[in-house]
Amino acid sequence: MRVLVTGGAGFIGSHLVDALLARGHEVIALDNLSSGLKVNLEDASKNPRFRLIEADLKESAPLSRHLEGVAVVYHFAANPEVRIGEIDPKVHFEENLVSSFSLLEGMRRSQNAKRIIFASTSTVYGEPTVMPTPEEYGPLIPISTYGASKLGCEALISSYAYTFGMRGLILRYGNVVGARAQHGIIVDLTKKLVSRRGSLEILGDGTQKKSYLQIADCITATLLAAEDFLKSDRRVDVYNVSSFDQVEVRLIAEIVANEMGAPNVPLRFTGGVDGGRGWMGDVKIMQLSIEKLSKLGWKPIYNSAEAISLSARQLVHRELKE
């Protein structure tokens, strides 16, 4: 079938494009290239079933023609940098909420594009008192503008599904890592180590503990959850997508340093803000329950430490190549 992937030139979006093409679908990637890269679609661009549209979702006028014949929309377009919310919260409002509203309006007017798969985030939970955190946990009290904007998108999707006869699958991702990533702790540490300035600076007090999911595991989970949802009659559903364990920031730094051949580099923690967080709005401890997704027969190949190690090797290769 014909599918549209918003944010298709981004980190997760481009891997999803590759996987959908491998499954025989006709894929349209829509991206404004503000953070996505054409090089991520180098292989996809050789496929006659692929097309890249450079457009901004906030400009709703051309959306209707891009949705012609589209059976499913994978909505992965967003500003993925959580930290920017502390400096300019308008970015998350416009790039996440306004863009999602514009897309949903286009789908509402469309004759056929009535099913949406949405890339949400673990940050919608805020700082839950239950861990691993299940999908039914509440109330959801995000502590960052990024988490708030994603939660708002979830609410919009649910409301459009129930008001306008659409259907929506919400995927709450943990920290996804791997090749093509442009932001996040592993990217930051890798760049700092490449520059080699005597010690490795790490934001926070080093006790932050979170889950990390390799991109390959992320894509298999996404496709499985989407396949199960699309063949059902459920109007709205939610899945956590993450690994089954956690690692501390200190261990992440050690793994990355080891992969870069600098196992003895001194670690220098900034001490952080607000109780040792890396930045305001940083969720210090996170672990999602993946029990619901596991019932579909999925489990990650890599644990968090293995995912970080593989990602570090991939990113080191990219940094040295550049």
CATH number for the domain that contains residue 195? 3.90.25.10
The token duo for 107 is 């789908």
Please tell me whether residues 42 and 53 are part of one structural domain. yes
Residue 293 maps to a domain: no
Residue with structure tokens 């803000």?
Answer: 273
Residue 57 maps to a domain: yes
Beta-bridge partners for 75? 6, 118
CATH of the domain at 94: 3.40.50.720
Please tell me whether residues 106 and 85 are part of one structural domain. yes
| Region at 271 (left for phi over 0; alpha for psi -120 to 50; beta for the rest) | left
The token duo for 215 is 């991109």
- The DSSP element (H or E) to which 213 belongs, if any, is strand 212-214
Please tell me whether residues 139 and 198 are part of one structural domain. no
Please tell me whether residues 98 and 157 are part of one structural domain. yes
Please tell me whether residues 199 and 233 are part of one structural domain. no
Domain end, chosen from 188, 221, 241, is at 241
DSSP 113-132: --EEEEEEEGGGG-S-SSSS
Please tell me whether residues 20 and 168 are part of one structural domain. yes
Please tell me whether residues 120 and 250 are part of one structural domain. no
pLDDT tens string for the chain (322 positions)?
Answer: 999 999 999 999 999 999 999 999 999 999 999 889 999 999 999 999 999 999 999 875 668 889 999 999 999 999 877 777 677 888 899 999 999 999 999 999 999 999 999 999 999 999 999 999 999 999 999 999 999 999 999 999 999 999 999 999 999 999 999 999 998 999 999 888 887 767 899 999 999 999 999 999 999 999 999 999 999 999 999 999 999 999 999 999 999 999 988 888 999 999 999 999 999 999 999 999 999 999 999 999 999 999 999 999 888 766 555 5
DSSP 227-274: HHHHTS--SEEEEEE--S--EEHHHHHHHHHHHTT-TTPPEEE---BT
Residue 298 maps to a domain: no
Please tell me whether residues 187 and 47 are part of one structural domain. no
| Strand bridging mode 209-210 / 247-248 | antiparallel
Rounded to whole angstroms, how far apart are CA atoms 136 and 239? 10
Asked if 266 and 274 touch (Cβ cutoff 8 Å), the reply is no
Residue 265 maps to a domain: yes
Residue 41 maps to a domain: yes
- DSSP secondary structure code for residue 133 in this structure: B
Please tell me whether residues 170 and 24 are part of one structural domain. yes
Please tell me whether residues 313 and 172 are part of one structural domain. no
Residue 281 maps to a domain: yes
Alpha-carbon Rg for the chain in angstroms: 19
Residue 294 maps to a domain: no
pLDDT at 15: 98
Q: Centre a 10 Å sphere on the Cβ of residue 265 and count the other Cβ atoms it contains.
A: 20
Q: Which residues contact 74 (CB under 8 A, 6 or more apart)?
A: 3, 4, 5, 6, 13, 16, 20, 116, 117, 119, 226
**Structural domain boundaries enclosing 251:** 179-211+245-286+303-321
Please tell me whether residues 135 and 171 are part of one structural domain. yes
Please tell me whether residues 152 and 189 are part of one structural domain. no
Report which of 92, 101, 79, 94 is spatially closest to residue 35, judged by C-alpha positions: 79
Looking at the 3D structure of the chain, how many domains does it have? 2
Q: Centre a 10 Å sphere on the Cβ of residue 218 and count the other Cβ atoms it contains.
A: 26
pTM attached to this predicted model: 0.95
The catalytic site residues sit at: 146
Residue 295 maps to a domain: no
> Three-class SS of residue 310?
helix
